[in-house]
Chain A
């Protein structure tokens, strides 16, 4: 079974600064997907960024980028130029690439609460 670990329950960053959230995972599979989801107080999970394990290039979406280290099973999220609206819970999630559709369950970590201060 796959597991996802987020060892930072809370992080704080000043507005306009950069912060990195950590995530490690354990799997015996070679092909999979990794995601970072944001959950603001409104509770709705919002996809931030996605990484395919077969891709060596790290994914980037505007101010959000990842550092994917497949051998180390590490998947960190870097938020640049932090904004007040970035304050939320951030969840790292794993999805197997085995099969289609029916293998698409997400396995989540316990989350990191990010505070953004002025």
Chain B
């Protein structure tokens, strides 16, 4: 049973560019959440997707957007990258019905230069 997978593992972008990160949830999971983890900090909730819609959003600007596909996989898009967007981006999946626990992927390390 495959767990949560994310791609790419590492990414280097230039300030002002746009980036897309990808996530495939654990088998049987229908809900995907994205978190940003800055160096030395705990993860911060960005948003959550269920049934291809954004259901909940944290305190992140509109430059951060996402998408969920019919197969439950998800993308995180960040436009107009800032140096402060450099972080580890974690995807977590869960089941909407009775899904107390979130299972995390290994993350994508984004470096903005």
Contacts and interface: CB of A to CB of B under 8 A. Distances in A.
Interface of A: 4, 6, 33, 35, 37, 42-47, 50, 91, 93, 95, 100-111
B94 interface: yes
A105 B100 CA distance: 10
6 contacts: A4-B42, A43-B88, A45-B43, A105-B33, A106-B43, A106-B102
Contact of A44 (B48, B94, B105, B109): B105
Contacts of A101: 31, 50, 55, 94, 96-97, 99
B100 A33 contact: yes
A103 B48 CA distance: 10
Interface in B11-34: 31, 33
**Main secondary structure on A side of the interface with B:** loop
Interface residues of B, number: 31
B41 A110 contact: yes
Interface centre among A91, A102, A103, A106 (most CB of B within 10 A): A106
B107 interface: yes
B45 A44 contact: no
A50 B100 contact: yes
Contacts of B33: 104-106
B42 A103 contact: no
Interface of B: 31, 33, 35, 40-45, 48, 50, 55-56, 58, 88, 90, 92, 94, 96-107, 109
Given A42-B106, A47-B101, A104-B94, A109 B45 contact: no
A102 B56 contact: yes
A99 to B, nearest CB: 10
- A-B interface, 7 closest residue pairs, ranked by CB to CB distance from nearest: A108-B42, A101-B96, A45-B104, A102-B55, A105-B45, A44-B106, A43-B107
Most A-side CB within 10 Å, residue of B33, B35, B88, B104: B104
A67 B33 CA distance: 28
A105 B105 contact: no
B43 A108 contact: yes
A108 to B, nearest CB: 3
B51 to A, nearest CB: 10
